[in-house]
Amino acid sequence: MGVSCHATDCMANYFFNKIVVNGGMFCEAQHCFWKVSIMNVISLLAGVVLKLSYHFVQKSLIRLSVLGIFGSVLLTASSLAAQTAPARMHFDVDAKVFRLDGGDVTYVLGVNGEGQVQTLYWGKHLPEAEHFDAARPSQGNASFDPPVTTTPHEYVGWGGALYVQPDLKITFPDGNRDLVLKYVSNKVGDGELAIMMKDISREVYVTLQYQMDPETGILRRSAEVENRTGAPFTIEQVASGTWNLPRGTDYRLHYVTGRWAGEWHLQEQPVHGGMTVLESRRGTTGSQNNPWFMIDHAITKDQDEGSVWFGALGWSGSWQIAVEQDALQQVRVTGGPNAFDFSYLVKKGDRFQTPYFYGGYSSHGVGDASRLLHRFEVDSLLPHAPTPKLRPVLYNSWEATEFRVDEPGQVALAEKAATLGVERFVMDDGWFGQRKDDHAGLGDWYVNPQKFPNGLKPLINKVHSLGMEFGLWVEPEMVNPDSDLYRKHPDWVLNFSGRPQTEGRNQLVLNLARPDVHAYVLQWLDKLLTENDISFIKWDYNRNWAEPGWPAVPVGEQKNVYVDFTRNFYDILEQMRKKHPNTEFESCSGGGSRVDLGVMHLTDEVWPSDNTDAYDRQFIQEGFTYAYTPGVMMAWVTDSPNWVNHRTLSLDYRFLSAMQGSLGIGANLNNWKPEDFATAKQMVATYKGIRETVQRGSLYRLMSPREGEATVTESVSRDGKQAVTFAFLHSSTQNYPFPRIYLRGLDENAVYDLKAISGKLSPGTPAFASGAYLMNFGVDVDLRGDFQAMAFTLSRR
Ligand code: DGJ
């Protein structure tokens, strides 16, 4: 739009001290000189009006729709704004205070007299007219914790007397390791705020980048480190940024831990003095910790009450989130690539861009915080956001056949799956190279001629003729030592020369950071997708790193592997998506080991766990949905007794558990009886009628499997017309009835029809009731015994 400014004696101050910046306007501050033409002023004012109307309409959209001509003028302006409007930004030139507003959140940062960039506020939306004083240096605590250590830095270099977690630590070629970053300038435009900092003497520039999602108030942060020193330097620690919470002593940290087949365990612990480190040192995300956190006040008991600050990293390599309470009881959360065994050589003139660190706030508890994350993922992060495709019902052959795949066997399963209403048939591991079990074949991506003498085409054609899409399993980053690829290129794996190589599942990790490995994977994957009509790739990754050496490059660059591997992984996904836009991807990683906002930006769904026991899944799925949307959470109905716990569960229970996410079937259909087919067919049809609500709606966790004998979830569709409730009873005891279900998220004044879609509502339950009744009087369901399940819908009249 052409408003450009350089601040300090800024002409905008002539009008008012605060500048509201809209998308397209561009401001460059510090030594300010506004070139404001009449047109600029007009566009500035127009921007203010547009913003006000956008704000107004967001709050009163329903009223506006009946406002007649005046209303429709505003509505047009606001719908335009709603489609394109970035978050609102204010910049107080004199005080050097930057303010970002989105959703119900306000984030304010400022530059103090020392040139340090501080967090001033992160929390519930404040009136736009609110005044913020300029940032001030912190007081410190005696001589032991000087101000530099207690100042709530947005981003701090390791230098001076800094004792808290630094965001950036650099070693220069002369051995100097002191880095003191000070504010230089800023840019505001296109919904982005960029703040440039520089070391006090060396030509090291760091640009802090901020972009706020206007709908949810989720802020995306990242930092770019630029080397203008004329010589290379080594980054030894680098974060995307630090989140500072308001001072407090009663904080509680939520995070997830896990292990294979036992992922997504929710943990809660008080935030005490000192540091809690969540991390992966495994080369990739890992299921032992997930790069996500929430912090609320310990006294809050209800899912939908109280302040919550949350964040998640968009990074699929080794990562770290450090939660630290400092000497002044301030809580800071610093996250980015893990500094353990890490370094990155930045050559002269080069830049290093950190991954994104997303952060948000809700004043309505962890339930709402999860819903904000879900909405953000669906509307802004997933491929094809804001309209990612609903997940098709899929069938996967893994648990039925394991590695014993061949054309007749897969055709037989596909024929049966098609009768159920399955929309996508996926052939899993075992179709390539000399793959009979997990000892051989990985790396050799040609179709096994004994199993598929005529290639994949006959099977793919058959699947298509049955009205389904075809999907295929791959594991591109791995190699079995017993493979042609390894025999030809033993140097392609991660390794330290002359040292043993630790195998996991009889496989080694290819060093994807190497240009030749990167090119090899690109080449065979592209060929596979070009030659075959494949709608879906299940991208697996079944072990973590060991001996993470890269002997082929100079010593000073060998640790670049931690970043370059992940960047190349992303690059392959990006290139494949561009070249094969009709192919979808799943991030699998043995279940749950590579689920993060980085990979989710490039994949359409994720596999949360290899554990398909429908009761264990209640815990797994609950933990998963704290951070990630059910719209990408694949859940299969598999055989009973289940292979994990040998637990026997009814087919209804298994279906209802899987229908809480994105439904798949992974049972051996060859063993099913006619009544199983009948039940499954009906469940699949039912699921298709509720999947939009489950995958896109607002999720309420009404009863947690961690807290008693019952699990209940409710999803309310975006348009409010449908709600779906799933109820699971683990075990009846002492003749107690199932706890009453109090619904949430309904319109008090609307009337809803109740309908059991599986199992029974209690006798006497009204056929219809108001939202107020359903949320306050509640609903009783008829569940008794062990491992019982039912589900019902509410349809708004
Ligand atoms: C692990 C995955 O999570 C399973 O679903 C299956 O694809 C196997 N790998 C195949 O090896």
Taking residues 482-503, report their average pLDDT. 98
**Exposure string (b/e) for 533-567, b if CB count within 10 Å is 16 or more?**
ebbbbbbbbbbbbbebbbeeeeeebbbbbbbbbbb
Amino acid at 700: Y
Least confident interval from 34-48, 418-432, 502-516, 680-694? 34-48
The rounded Å distance from CA 189 to ligand 1 centre is: 45
Say if ligand 1 is within 6 A of residue 596 CB: no
Instruction: Determine the Cα–Cα distance for residues 300 and 294; give it in Å rounded to an integer.
Output: 13
Q: Which residue has the tokens 């009204």?
A: 766
Give the position, in ligand 1's atom list, of the atom nearest the Cα of 588.
3
Angle at 561 between CA 557 and CA 565, to 5 degrees: 145
What is the rounded average pLDDT of the residues 670-696? 98
| Active-site choice (167, 540, 604, 652) | 540
Q: Is the pLDDT of residue 622 over 80?
A: yes
CA 265 to ligand 1 center in whole angstroms = 21
C-beta 155 within 6 A of ligand 1: no
**DSSP string for residues in 593-631:** TT-SHHHHTT-SEE---S---TTHHHHHHHHHHHHS-GG
How far is residue 238's CA from residue 699's CA, in Å, rounded to a whole number? 35
**Contact present, 392 and 423 (Cβ < 8 Å):** yes
Q: Does residue 10 carry a pLDDT above 80?
A: no
Which neighbouring-strand residues pair with 322?
Answer: 277, 334
> Is the per-residue pLDDT at 76 higher than 80?
no
Q: Each residue of 301-332: pLDDT tens digit?
A: 899 999 999 999 999 999 999 999 999 999 99
Tell how far the Cα of 547 is from the centroid of ligand 1, in angstroms.
24
Relative to beta strand 117-124, strand 168-171 is unpaired
- Is the CB of 395 within 6 Å of ligand 1? no
Give the position, in ligand 1's atom list, of the atom nearest the Cα of 589.
Answer: 3
Give pLDDT tens digits for 328-368.
999 999 999 999 999 999 999 999 999 999 999 999 999 99
pLDDT score recorded for residue 139? 86
What is the 540 CA–ligand 1 centroid distance (Å)?
A: 7
Nearest alpha carbon to residue 724 among 707, 746, 740: 746
pLDDT at 68: 25
Residue of the nearest CA to atom 9 in ligand 1? 590
Ligand 1 centroid from CA 578, angstroms: 26
Q: Residue 175: its pLDDT value, please?
A: 98
Q: Which pLDDT value is given to residue 190?
A: 80
146: left (phi over 0), alpha (psi -120 to 50) or beta: beta
pLDDT at 51 over 70: no
Does any ligand 1 atom lie closer than 6 A to the CB of residue 586? no
Closest residue to atom 11 of ligand 1, CA basis: 429
pLDDT band at 34 (very low <50, low <70, confident <90, very high): very low
Determine the atom of ligand 1 nearest the C-alpha atom of 538.
Answer: 7
Interval 166-200: pLDDT, tens: 999 999 999 999 999 999 999 998 889 999 999 99
Closest-CA residue, ligand 1 atom 10, reads 429
Confidence (pLDDT) at 741: 98
pLDDT tens for 274-303 read 999 999 999 999 999 999 999 999 998 899
Residue 85 — very low, low, confident or very high, per pLDDT cuts 50/70/90? low
- The residues with which 714 forms a beta bridge, in sequence order, are 700, 725
Instruction: Give the separation between CA 313 and CA 393, rounded to whole angstroms.
Output: 29
Q: Mean per-residue pLDDT for 500-526?
A: 98
What order do you get walking across the sheet with 331-337 strand by strand? 241-245, 331-337, 317-325, 274-284
Ligand 1, atom 1: closest residue by C-alpha: 590
Q: Which pLDDT does position 8 carry in this prediction?
A: 27
Q: Ligand 1 pocket, 638 CB below 6 A?
A: no
Question: What's the pTM?
Answer: 0.91
* 37 vs 681: which has the higher pLDDT: 681
Task: Report residue 73's pLDDT band, with 50, 70 and 90 as the boundaries.
Answer: very low
Query: What percentage of the chain has pLDDT greater than the value 70?
Result: 89
* Cβ of 661 below 6 Å from ligand 1: no
Please indicate whether residue 636, judged by its CB atom, sits closer than 6 Å to ligand 1: no
Q: Please name the residue that has the structure tokens 């990985």.
A: 442
Q: What is the pLDDT of residue 138?
A: 84
Known catalytic residue at 484: no
**385 or 54, higher pLDDT:** 385
The backbone torsions φ and ψ at residue 48, rounded to the nearest 5 degrees and listed phi first, read: -65, -45
Give pLDDT tens digits for 146-160.
999 999 999 999 999
Span 782-792, average pLDDT? 97
pLDDT at 782 over 90: yes
Is the pLDDT reported for residue 683 higher than 50? Answer: yes
The answer to whether residues 85 and 54 touch, using CB atoms and an 8 Å cutoff, is yes
Q: What is the pLDDT of residue 86?
A: 75
How many whole angstroms from 395 Cα to the centroid of ligand 1? 14
The pLDDT of 479-496, averaged and rounded, is 98
Ligand 1 centre distance from Cα of residue 405 (Å):
14
Cα separation, 758 vs 175, in Å, equals: 69
Does the beta carbon of 429 lie inside 6 Å of ligand 1?
yes
Minimum-distance ligand 1 atom for the alpha carbon of 590? 3
106-128: average pLDDT:
97
Over range 709-713, report the average pLDDT: 97
Taking the C-alpha atoms of residue 775 and residue 749, their distance in angstroms, rounded to an integer, is 11
CA pair distance 582, 5, nearest whole angstrom: 44
Q: Does the CB atom of residue 431 touch ligand 1 within 6 A? A: no
Q: Which of 296, 444, 610, 613 is catalytic?
A: 610
Q: How far is the CA of 644 from the centre of ligand 1 (A)?
A: 14
Q: In what order do the strands lie in the sheet with 710-716?
A: 698-703, 710-716, 722-731, 786-796, 751-758, 768-770
Q: How confident is the model at residue 58 (pLDDT cuts 50, 70, 90)?
A: very low
What confidence category does residue 22 fall into, taking pLDDT thresholds of 50, 70 and 90? very low
* Residue pointed to by tokens 């500035």: 44
User: Which amino acid, 691?
Assistant: R
304 tagged catalytic: no
User: Considering only CA atoms, which residue is closest to atom 2 of ligand 1?
Assistant: 590
Task: pLDDT band for 67, please (50, 70, 90 cuts).
Answer: very low
In this prediction, residue 53 has a pLDDT band, given cuts at 50, 70 and 90, of very low
Residue nearest atom 3 in ligand 1 by C-alpha distance: 590
